[in-house]
Amino acid sequence: MPADEARVSILDHGFLYGDSVYEAVRTFGGRPFRLGAHLARLERSAAGLFIRMPEGIEAAVDDVLRAGHGEQLVRIMVTRGVGSLGYDLDPEQTPTLVLLGMPVPKYPARFYDEGVRLATTDIRRNPQNSLDPSLKTSNLLNLRLAFMDARRQGADDVVMLNHRGEVAEASGSNIFLVKDGALQTPEMGAGILGGITRDFVIRLARDNGFQVTEGVISPEALRAADEVFLTSTTRSIMPATVLDSIPVGGGLPGALTRSLMESFEARVGAPIR
């Protein structure tokens, strides 16, 4: 149905408490990219919030894709459902399932040709023993406030640090750096979401003969990188060429980043921009 005809109760706990999980799945050449991995992560996130998973999600995704045209993005949301006010678990509460279908967002061409501008912020990523970033929940205020702070600094996106001051992730993307021909990306212990595209790019890079390590990355190491890029469902691979108003590497997308972008497109059989 059209979005303006859809209705969710004001007593739904997704509205009252941000008590929900979600995934965003895109297509390449009309085919959903790594749908199984997205649904597995959705199930893990739901289990982490003690939300029961409804049935029939994969079939519903197919229905949404058949109703659309061109490359599509499907956002899948599962909330705890309608219930009374309060935090007690209600075994009778029925989860709400919502799917939004839309064209894949188009980023400005300069983001891929020239790279995005990043900025650090004093807003830290949620610690794992608070609201675990490895759970993809709809509570996105931590990320949104950090993104807004970066935008106020004139940047396109933010680099969030964890409570130890280590590089974690961007507002909706994972971060990679290139140094001396090898790739580095923050480990899960840094407090990040294990990105579906991140995992794909790690395997792609290793298939192409590049060394990839997951570990602790300092802000200083990020600033001293030869290249930096972001990965996400909608961005795929996107270069970053400025950090805190200072050029990264040569200030233009680097050769290794461009090589991975080309390999990504060849593997999925469709352009990423």
Catalytic positions: 136
Task: Determine the Cα–Cα distance for residues 102 and 194; give it in Å rounded to an integer.
Answer: 24
Task: Determine the Cα–Cα distance for residues 97 and 8; give it in Å rounded to an integer.
Answer: 10
**Reduced to 3 states, what is the DSSP secondary structure of residue 57?**
helix
E strand or H helix that includes residue 67 = helix 57-67
Residue 188, phi then psi, degrees to nearest 5: -60, -35
Name which of 22, 90, 25, 17 is nearest 61 in CA terms.
25
Helix 196-207, helix 35-48: angle, nearest 10: 130
Per the CB < 8 A criterion, the answer to whether 261 and 228 are in contact is: no
Task: Determine the Cα–Cα distance for residues 267 and 54; give it in Å rounded to an integer.
Answer: 32
Per the CB < 8 A criterion, the answer to whether 8 and 15 are in contact is: yes
Q: Tell how strand 227-232 and strand 236-243 pair up.
A: antiparallel
Task: Determine the Cα–Cα distance for residues 158 and 168; give it in Å rounded to an integer.
Answer: 11
Q: How many CA atoms lie within 13 A of 164 on its CB side?
A: 11
Angstrom CA distances, 72 to 32, 59, 172, 257, stand at 8, 16, 18, 25
